[in-house]
Amino acid sequence: MRDVIVVGAGPGGTAAAKYLASKGYDVVIYEKRQEIGAPKRCGEGISFGGLERLGLELPKNCVRQVINSALVYAPDNSHVEVSYGKDYGYVVERKMFDKWLAEEAVRKGAKVKAKTYIKEVLKEDGKVVGVRGEHLGEEFEEKCKVLIAADGIESKISRMAGLNTTANPMLVDSGFQYEMTGIKISDPKKIHLYFGNDIAPRGYIWIFPKGEDVANVGIGIVGKSQKSAKEYLSEFVEKTEGLKDGSILEVNSGGIPIGGLMNKMTLDNFLAIGDAAHQVNPINGGGMYEAQFAARIAADVIDEGIQKGDTSEKQLDKYNKKWWEERGNKLKKVEKIREVSEKLSDEDFNFLAKELKGDNLIDFSRGQGLKGLGKILIKKPHLAKYVKGLHLEF
């Protein structure tokens, strides 16, 4: 019997295993892919602040590009420059990053097994007690004190365990991306974000450089759009100088949770982290940090539970509470801003691009500066009605 079984070797699962193994627990990660980190479902951007809070110092081979600012474009091509005044983050190579995270977990004492598909969650008296899986054609069963679902957006493990994680389709962005080369990037330290209902309805297009002639060029839109994410992105690439003659190194797609944060992510002997629990920043779609942040809280709570000999839902509920206190409430505010942005017309975006400063946008992605946004929205009668949705007190 293991102390803890983790399903999924993404950032969330590997972080949870690392924290638990450092505390001396017997923990294993099962990953269905034959190669950890590939194919990626990610734009690969992560901030220095996030890495620092996670205590991560990336080895050189995980890093492709240092970023120091973001250019945010309105439909009329006017833009706001979000300059952080210093180097701010990385575009990483997920294939290397995820593998390195797994190596770190193993260095702390965890076990990892790729190409292992978890098919079933075992239960006794209605409580989770282990898993049934298959590794290279061989079936096995294994028991554990606690099961962690870090299986990403599909979130099948939670559902098998009895936690309903079915996503509201309006709260999952349809994501599509090309990793391109043979393109012209004027300044690889800048990321570019394009808004507009014709190019990316209720979402946006991003360019995250990975060097002077390589970049992740992607789109996230709400599923119910006229055209598919791929069609919108292809149109953008074809009409954009510097991109249209580029080559395609990789094609990526995926669902990005942009809301639907869950109050309850636990059962007896069970909890969910990362995309599996919809823990993603609703504005910038960043989930690598969120998954690892939640993993640390989860590991602390599981540690306490196992020590007490109590891993019941009541005990693990501390994870729900702590996560909401430290993270959820903030992300909820970010979600409110996103809800406003989804209602904006192209003219509204053009107007806001003139009114907003880079600092405002930095604040928004952190769930701050709502008052400032409210004050600008109030200037236009048809926008003023959205101020209510921000739940502000003036």
Ligand X SMILES: Cc1cc2nc3c(=O)[nH]c(=O)nc-3n(C[C@H](O)[C@H](O)[C@H](O)COP(=O)(O)OP(=O)(O)OC[C@H]3O[C@@H](n4cnc5c(N)ncnc54)[C@H](O)[C@@H]3O)c2cc1C
User: Which residues make up the interface to other proteins (CB under 8 A)?
Assistant: 39, 41, 117, 152-156, 159, 166-167, 169, 172, 174-176, 223-224, 228-231, 251-255, 257
Least Cβ distance, residue 326 to ligand X (angstroms) = 17
Rounded Cα distance between 301 and 271, Å, is: 10
Which helix (DSSP H) or strand (DSSP E) does residue 222 occupy?
A: strand 214-222
Rounded Cα distance between 11 and 276, Å, is: 12
Rounded Cα distance between 265 and 329, Å, is: 15
Nearer to ligand X, 34 or 345 (CB): 34
Nearer to ligand X, 122 or 378 (CB): 122
Q: Record the tokens describing residue 75, joined without a space.
A: 């439909």
Q: Which one of ligand X, other proteins, none interacts with residue 44, CB within 5 to 8 A by kind?
A: ligand X
Nearer to ligand X, 275 or 303 (CB): 275
Q: Record the tokens describing residue 272, joined without a space.
A: 């969910």
Q: Which one of other proteins, ligand X, none interacts with residue 162, CB within 5 to 8 A by kind?
A: none
The site for ligand X (CB under 6 A) is made up of 7-13, 30-33, 41-46, 117-118, 150-152, 154, 156-157, 175, 177, 218, 252, 254, 256, 274-276, 280, 285-289, 291
Q: Record the tokens describing residue 47, joined without a space.
A: 């901030």
Nearer to ligand X, 117 or 140 (CB): 117
Q: Which one of other proteins, ligand X, none interacts with residue 178, CB within 5 to 8 A by kind?
A: none
Count Cα atoms within 13 angstroms, Cβ side, for 387: 18
Nearer to ligand X, 207 or 387 (CB): 207
Least Cβ distance, residue 76 to ligand X (angstroms) = 26
Nearer to ligand X, 150 or 344 (CB): 150
Least Cβ distance, residue 239 to ligand X (angstroms) = 21
**Residues found in the chain:** 394
Least Cβ distance, residue 75 to ligand X (angstroms) = 22
Residue where the block lists tokens 């020590």: 307
Least Cβ distance, residue 378 to ligand X (angstroms) = 33
Nearer to other proteins, 80 or 221 (CB): 221
Q: Record the tokens describing residue 120, joined without a space.
A: 């079933």
- 3-class secondary-structure state, position 164: coil
Which helix (DSSP H) or strand (DSSP E) does residue 216 occupy?
A: strand 214-222
Q: Which one of other proteins, ligand X, none interacts with residue 10, CB within 5 to 8 A by kind?
A: ligand X
Q: Which residues contact 81 (CB under 8 A, 6 or more apart)?
A: 69, 70, 71, 72, 358
Q: Which one of other proteins, ligand X, none interacts with residue 374, CB within 5 to 8 A by kind?
A: none
Residue where the block lists tokens 């995309």: 275
Beta strands 2-7; 138-149: pairing state? parallel
Nearer to other proteins, 47 or 281 (CB): 281
Q: Which one of other proteins, ligand X, none interacts with residue 150, CB within 5 to 8 A by kind?
A: ligand X
**Which residues on adjacent β-strands are paired with residue 28?**
5, 111
Q: Which one of ligand X, other proteins, none interacts with residue 42, CB within 5 to 8 A by kind?
A: ligand X
- 3-class secondary-structure state, position 209: strand
- 3-class secondary-structure state, position 11: helix
Helix axis angle, 94-107 to 11-22, nearest 10°: 20
Q: Which one of ligand X, other proteins, none interacts with residue 223, CB within 5 to 8 A by kind?
A: other proteins
